[in-house]
Structure 1
Amino acid sequence: MTSEITQTPNPDQIRRAPKVLLHDHLDGGLRPGTIVDLARDTGYEGLPETDPEKLGTWFREAADSGSLERYLETFSHTCAVMQTRDALVRVAAECAEDLAADGVVYAEVRYAPEQHLDGGLTLEEVVEAVNEGFREGERRALEAGNRIRVGALLTAMRHAARSLEIAELANRYRDLGVVGFDIAGAEAGFPPTRHLDAFEYLKRENNHFTIHAGEAFGLPSIWQALQWCGADRLGHGVRIIDDIRVADDGTVELGRLAAYVRDKRIPLELCPSSNLQTGAAASYAEHPIGLLRRLHFRATVNTDNRLMSGTNMSAEFQHLVATFRYTLDDMQWFTVNAMKSAFIPFDERLAMINEVIKPGYSELKSEWLFRAAAAAPVPTSGSHGTHG
């Protein structure tokens, strides 16, 4: 009884718990009010709503279609208002602030520089503006009492032909705020093998990359991302469940690919709420994260697109705690998994785990022990007899 009380987090504890985010899109996390402001400033007239609250609702409802392709259409509006240096700085700064206020201590936020050139910016100017915004957001967060470190992942669109150029850009800004590379966009019809030259280049440069795979498309996408391209992580990877068989008696059998992913400790950037919207899972209870956690895959919890899913890291964990009765120990397990899988140097990852994450969870667990002890009935003087 006491163990369960000390481990089960309430919403306030979930918010205050140190969290690590590996899969979050910059153009999928804007504040609705910021979109309205930037649309007015830039003369963009395509918004479906100009009231921030109604606009936020529109994004969530438009994305909640069960189709990845329809989900991706919502980004035309956010990208449209992210075409100037000032807009990119503002969006990136607010992203860092919002994540930090939600208890995120380390985040890797991805965006596609090629989607922000309509206003005349160069690829380099886009990267420098976003980096400036992240540093400003980190500074503001610290002033508010929230510590966060944000690294950028440069994304190439898998339907386009600029992946090598973006990979080279990521390598030039390595150690200057960019921590890795990614490809994103609709999986079906656009396999990662179309971009082998970019991945081979990154491997020669000993650089890090993740690949969106195993979200809308199944095991072949995962296999290609790992065996042909050499991805360090799988963006989503939720469809690895297709290679896991659970018998009626509960016996679990892993196929060769699933066993390889688990044995090699390949990180899965799981995004529960987003997966429900795109049809990769029917409900939180049926989301593969529950089984993948039990089987000790390198599973991590992520937001994907906070605006479109109406979510943040605390909300994601609240859903999992309510559904799977996860404890603070489970939250710490997911968080340490993510920090181990980050694209920053090993010693920096280790310092975050030992100096920030573990102490943070230890403090939360101590709170519960204190509260449980304070709520326990006080024994009466005759309850422990000493007379013989």
Structure 2
Amino acid sequence: MNAPELTTIRSAPKVLLHDHLDGGLRPETVLELAEQCGYDELPATTASELAQWFRTAADSGSLELYLETFAHTVAVMQTPEGLARVARECAEDLADDNVVYAEIRFAPEQHLEQGLSLDEVVEHVLEGFRAGESAARVAGREIRIGCLLTAMRHAARSREIAELAVRFRDRGVVGFDIAGAEAGNPPSRHLDAFEYMRDANAHFTIHAGEAFGLPSIHEAIAFCGADRLGHGVRIVDDIDVAGQGGAELGRLANYVRDMRIPLELCPSSNVQTGAVAALSDHPFGLLADLRFRVTVNTDNRLMSDTSMSREMAALVETFGYGWTDLERFTINAMKSAFIPFDERLALIDDVIKPGYAVLIG
């Protein structure tokens, strides 16, 4: 069996659960949209310089400073044309990386500056995703995009965004999320939104355990009832690793593992925001060994200058994973997607397993 390398990893089918629409723009698109809408505050004037600026600015070691880079991308995503274009290109770029299923999230409340309504924002993004899926199909690639609507945890519109997610759930929206700086903004502040989602039998994930520790994860699960954890990397704080390689799990870590609560881990981003010091220190390897339901994700492809293939290649280099490991992480993600069971199973049996069988040999 040949060890996975970046070139061959690109040919493997992939599933992406945690990717922000406003964190994955093409640098040249940012420049063109900025010119079209009259936004003159970009920190660079060429695509290569802008790409480098985003990567350098995001390498801050702080989630709060990392989030400041989004002011520029959100600023150029305020028109119907801008929203649809960014969504279309997102689908095309992921398909080019052989992502066969992706859930892309964004916060509609951040795209109202030019007078669009929340419903109009969602409609234009979904239009872009459908156009991107069609373009990928013409190019010989199949991808399915589900949309997650995100509420900002420091704001007060989470119930409104939850209702929006339910209103559009038969039109391409598959779930709800909250995001933003964790410290001082616990998920329990948004209980009414999560109770609404549960009452509607709708899915949701919560950014928790990224920059803040176990209390954030505990609230997301015990109080809010999250289906998945966005990042969840700090669950490692409830695991005591013994000197002989053994590990003792605390009650919260045991619950997360026993209940198969998916962890939307984003290795490169976690290093950039200071959630972990270096990729070699990332608990992904430990959590995978302990059979948590770990998944591989990009978080923000522009800010991290990454792709699903690059994230997988980095994990292979760091932890020595082979094709069967990458297949397991991909199936973990597909099992955890917010689409019906039979549709998840079809993608696993008809696309993911056959794709890896060729690579495993």
Q: Please, what TM-score do these two structures have when normalized by structure 1?
A: 0.92
- 1:17 paired residue number: 12
Q: Superposition pairs for residues 71-82 of structure 1, below 5 Å?
A: 71-82=66-77
Shift of 1:284: 1.4
Distance 1:102 1:283 in 2: 25
Distance 1:64 1:137 in 2: 30
Q: How many residues align?
A: 361
- 1:210 paired residue number: 205
Choose the corresponding residue for 2:148, options 153, 157, 166: 153
Distance 1:276 1:97 in 2: 27
Runs of 4+ with deviation above 4 angstroms = none
Secondary structure class of the residue paired with 1:285:
helix
**1:262 and 1:298 in contact (8 A); partners too:** yes
- 1:328 paired residue number: 323
Q: Superposition pairs for residues 2-151 of structure 1, below 5 Å?
A: 6-151=1-146
One-letter identity of the residue aligned with 2:299: D
Shift of 1:164: 0.3
**1:7 and 1:329 in contact (8 A); partners too:** no
Gaps of 5+ in 1: 1-5, 367-388
Shift of 1:135: 0.3
**1:266 and 1:298 in contact (8 A); partners too:** yes
- 2:173 paired residue number: 178
Deviations 1:315-366 (A, max 9, x none): 0001011111100100000000000000000000000000000000011223
RMSD over aligned CA atoms reads 0.6
One-letter identity of the residue aligned with 2:163: E
Gaps of 5+ in 2: none
One-letter identity of the residue aligned with 2:148: L
**1:21 and 1:107 in contact (8 A); partners too:** yes
Q: Superposition pairs for residues 227-238 of structure 1, below 5 Å?
A: 227-238=222-233
Deviations 1:96-152 (A, max 9, x none): 000010110000000000000001100000000000000000011111111100000
Shift of 1:10: 2.0
Distance 1:175 1:337 in 2: 24
Mark the CA change 1:121 to 1:234 in structure 2 (over 3 Å): closer, same or farther: same
Choose the corresponding residue for 2:163, options 158, 161, 168: 168
Shift of 1:7: 5.0
- 1:257 paired residue number: 252
One-letter identity of the residue aligned with 1:345: P
Question: Percent of pairs identical after alignment?
Answer: 70
Q: Please, what TM-score do these two structures have when normalized by structure 2?
A: 0.99
One-letter identity of the residue aligned with 1:74: T
Choose the corresponding residue for 2:214, options 198, 216, 219: 219
Shift of 1:289: 0.2
